[in-house]
Homo-oligomer: A and B are copies of this chain.
Amino acid sequence: MAGFHSKFDTLRWCDGRLEMIDQRLLPAEVAYISYESAASVADGIRDMVVRGAPAIGCAAAYGVALEALRMQRRSAEEFKTGLDSAFEVLAASRPTAVNLFWALARMREIWQSCVPGDVKASAACLLDAAHQIFHADIAANRRMGEFGAELIADGASILTHCNAGALATAGHGTALGVIRSAVEAGKKISVFADETRPFLQGARLTAWELMQDGIPVTLIADNAAGHLMSRGEIDVIIVGADRIAANGDVANKVGTYQVAVLAQRHRIPFYVAAPLSTIDAQIADGSEIPIEERAASEVRGYRDLQWAPKLVNVRNPVFDVTPAELVTGLITELGVVLAPNTEKIAQLLRSAER
């Protein structure tokens, strides 16, 4: 079977601008928003025009490049001030996904390696670096897909949570990339998609993405996952990640932890597909990962339809931490790490440096 070629772009460089598909409107409307500055890209990340850890990383890299291009006729000093503030505003956009900080750190490294004082050359060099991050992400997803597909039996029924698809990355996807690669390898696969309250990435994005590719998908309420597991209807679980600690603890969309606990009870393999840029070697375990809390209105309803009492108190943590002990394997672009722990992850990161 030929590879899947997306009928949409999560983000794309077009005419000197960054365009991002507005994921808040999907699937009802396919519309792109155009960005020309770091501040506007930061708004796009915060407001969830773009979401998904790897896609946020790519968007942030382009945000820096856009700012560099915007400042390329200014003095070296103004360029530096502008870029420093671009890094700052982008870093403040969302707290949990580490790919954002990874991409910004990469861009800063590139900038520091540019010819000092040559503003125009620096801008060109930063745009080139953003393109590289973008294309490296697609390549990493393809490799994860190949490694991950080997873990999936023909005929498998796979549960996924949130959207770890092409829409969460530069393309192909992490968890959905594994599913796509398994289908490309000729396996018959069906997918259960958790709707993923409160932002409904599963209902709106995963369902839409898989239907675009003709991969059988069944939407369920998050509450139904345990019931289906108890009835033997789920063979394997694959999710993405927003940040992975040095010991293998995984921060991902809220609800992931519950799925992992249920998987353990039912002896269902629970895989996390994520590029190395999602691993944060600076933190020992998941307890140090900041968990973003978002607006109460997300839980009181959906968009303009607010069904809960107007003034009801709300807690809206949008990520949770799945301890490494619940992770059957970590699928990366360098291979699969079974039963991840500090030692195995350190070894993986060393092999990447070679």
Going nearest first, the 4 A-B pairs with the smallest beta carbon separation are A223-B255, A227-B320, A226-B258, A203-B308
Query: 1/0 per residue A299-310: CB within 8 Å of B?
Result: 111110101110
Find A230's partner among B192, B301, B305, B321 (CB 8 Å cutoff): B321
Query: Interface SS of chain A: helix, strand, loop or mixed?
Result: mixed
Q: Which of chain B's residues have a CB closer than 8 A to the CB of A217?
A: 312-313
Is A277 interfacial (CB 8 A cutoff)? Answer: no
Query: 1/0 per residue A1-43: CB within 8 Å of B?
Result: 0000000000000000000000000011000000000000000
- How many whole Å from A239's CB to the nearest CB in chain B? 12
- How many whole Å from A309's CB to the nearest CB in chain B? 5
Which one of A46-54, A141-149, A180-188, A193-201 is at the B interface?
A: A193-201
Which one of A82-90, A106-114, A170-178, A204-212 is at the B interface?
A: A204-212
Q: Which of chain B's residues have a CB closer than 8 A to the CB of A316?
A: 220-221, 224
* Complex A-B: 16 CB contacts under 8 Å: A198-B221, A203-B299, A211-B309, A211-B312, A216-B313, A221-B222, A221-B316, A222-B222, A222-B223, A224-B317, A225-B258, A228-B315, A230-B320, A302-B307, A303-B305, A305-B305
- How many whole Å from A162's CB to the nearest CB in chain B? 9
Residue positions of A touching B, CB distance < 8 A: 27-28, 192, 195-198, 200, 203-204, 207-208, 211, 216-228, 230, 253-255, 257-258, 261-262, 265, 291, 299-303, 305, 307-309, 311-317, 320-321
| Inter-subunit contact A308/B222 (CB<8 Å) | no
| Inter-subunit contact A207/B309 (CB<8 Å) | yes
Identical subunits present: 2
| Inter-subunit contact A299/B220 (CB<8 Å) | yes
Tell which of A224, A253, A300 has the most Cβ of chain B within 10 Å.
A224
Q: Which of chain B's residues have a CB closer than 8 A to the CB of A222?
A: 197, 221-223, 255
| Inter-subunit contact A203/B261 (CB<8 Å) | no
CA distance A127 to B63 in the complex (A): 72
- How many whole Å from A324's CB to the nearest CB in chain B? 14
A308-B224 contact in complex given A195-B299, A314-B219, C-beta closer than 8 Å: no
